[in-house]
Amino acid sequence: MTMKDHTSQSEINDEMRAIEAEARARVDDGGAPELHPRRNYPPYRSSILRHPTHELVRVDPEEVELFSPAFGHTDVNVLESDLTIQHRGEPLGERMTVSGRVLDGEGRPVRRQLIEIWQANAGGRYVHKRDQHPAPLDPNFTGVGRVITGENGEYSFTTIKPGPYPWRNHLNAWRPAHIHFSLFGTAFTQRLITQMYFPGDPLFALDPIYQSITDPAARARLVGTYDHDLSVPEWSLGYNWDIVLTGPKATWMESEEAHD
């Protein structure tokens, strides 16, 4: 819970007893016993906000293989790499292409690598209920995309440049504009997360996350490079950013506890 709950233990106990009595009454009336916890169980306060609101979709156990996550070209549509065409209208902001390669420490391409990105919109706001700062939401921009790297480790996304946003680390703290990158190996448990920044951002010197990397060269590897050859005439600006997974020039990756 983000807010302090002043409910006493005795009140919680009363709520639990009331639910138990109601469930027992249903069984006494001929209903089936509840063998699993209720998704909406008010004594468990956070379940009030995060439980599903629709019945679960029941599928044949053998057919679930057809829809479960897989790694390869079969489950990632090529259109998913363009974050500007996911809605009926066009998103607001500076359209751009972000391209690069995923490499190992020896400079060899990492092929068939699943990459996911997520980002704030041009106003610096995420499509997430926890993001409540008063920047506008864009109905034509969700801010998520994915792609699988090619034979040379290459990837490319079309998106809009995200805006900076405030965070409550300290008074008047603002995060530089960035895109989150998530890279998978052969399973969801093999996941690395990092961030790409944009050149010349005046917030670099003020951002504790960026400045926590004490080596200037390592910090610089998080900043994409403007590449005019990647820019599409009358359409988008181009940025190049390579991701190195291992070795002394590896791209910095977030810890599992990182949130911003």
Q: What is the percent of the chain where pLDDT is above 90?
A: 38
Q: What is the mean pLDDT of residues 111-131?
A: 90
Q: Bin 237: left if φ > 0, else alpha if -120 < ψ < 50, else beta.
A: beta
Q: Which of 202, 160, 166 is nearest to 179 (CA)?
A: 160
Whether 252 maps to a domain, the answer reads no
Query: At residue 122, does pLDDT exceed 90?
Result: yes
Whether 70 maps to a domain, the answer reads yes
Query: At residue 67, does pLDDT exceed 50?
Result: no
Per-residue model confidence (pLDDT) at position 255: 58
pLDDT band at 128 (very low <50, low <70, confident <90, very high): confident
**Which comes out higher in pLDDT, residue 174 or 138?**
138
Pairing between β-strand 154-160 and β-strand 225-226 as defined by DSSP bridges: unpaired
CATH number for the domain harbouring residue 102: 2.60.130.10
Whether 255 maps to a domain, the answer reads no
Active-site annotation, residues: 126, 165, 175, 178, 180
pTM listed for this prediction: 0.69
Whether 198 maps to a domain, the answer reads yes
- What's the Cα-to-Cα distance from 41 to each of 45, 55, 79, rounded to whole Å? 7, 15, 39
pLDDT band at 73 (very low <50, low <70, confident <90, very high): very low
Whether 4 maps to a domain, the answer reads no
Domain boundaries, position 116: 9-244
Per-residue model confidence (pLDDT) at position 21: 84
Query: At residue 159, does pLDDT exceed 80?
Result: yes
Whether 256 maps to a domain, the answer reads no
Q: Provide the terminal-to-terminal Cα distance of the chain, rounded to the nearest Å.
A: 19
Q: What is the mean pLDDT of residues 178-197?
A: 81
Task: Name the average pLDDT for the chain.
Answer: 80
- What's the Cα-to-Cα distance from 32 to each of 38, 41, 56, 153, 242, rounded to whole Å? 14, 18, 18, 54, 57
Q: What tokens were used for 6?
A: 């002043």
**φ, ψ dihedrals at 59, nearest 5°:** -130, 160
Q: Which of 144, 230, 138, 142 is nearest to 181 (CA)?
A: 144
What is the tens place of the pLDDT at every residue in 38-50? 666 675 675 666 6
Query: At residue 189, does pLDDT exceed 80?
Result: no
Per-residue model confidence (pLDDT) at position 69: 46
Per-residue model confidence (pLDDT) at position 158: 96
Whether 250 maps to a domain, the answer reads no
What is the tens place of the pLDDT at every residue in 218-232? 888 999 999 999 999
pLDDT band at 75 (very low <50, low <70, confident <90, very high): confident
Query: What string of DSSP letters covers the chain?
Result: --S-----HHHHHHHHHHHHHHHHHHHHTTPPP--S--SS-TTSTTHHHHS-SSPPPP--TTGGGGTS--SSTTSS-GGGGBTTSSSSSPPSS-EEEEEEEEE-TTS-B--S-EEEEEE--TTS--SSTT--SSPPP-TT---EEEEE--TTSEEEEEEEPPPPEE-TTSTT-EEPPEEEEEEE-SSTTSEEEEEEE-TT-TTGGG-HHHHTS--HHHHHTTB-EE-GGGPBTTTBEEEE--EE-SSTTPPP---TT---
Single-letter amino acid, residue 53: T
**Which comes out higher in pLDDT, residue 101 or 39?**
101
The mean-pLDDT minimum among 16-20, 113-117, 219-223 falls in: 16-20
Q: What is the mean pLDDT of residues 6-34?
A: 73
Whether 193 maps to a domain, the answer reads yes
**Which comes out higher in pLDDT, residue 130 or 142?**
142
| Domain tally, the chain | 1
Q: What is the mean pLDDT of residues 193-211?
A: 85
Q: Which of 18-27, 71-80, 181-190 has the highest mean pLDDT?
A: 18-27
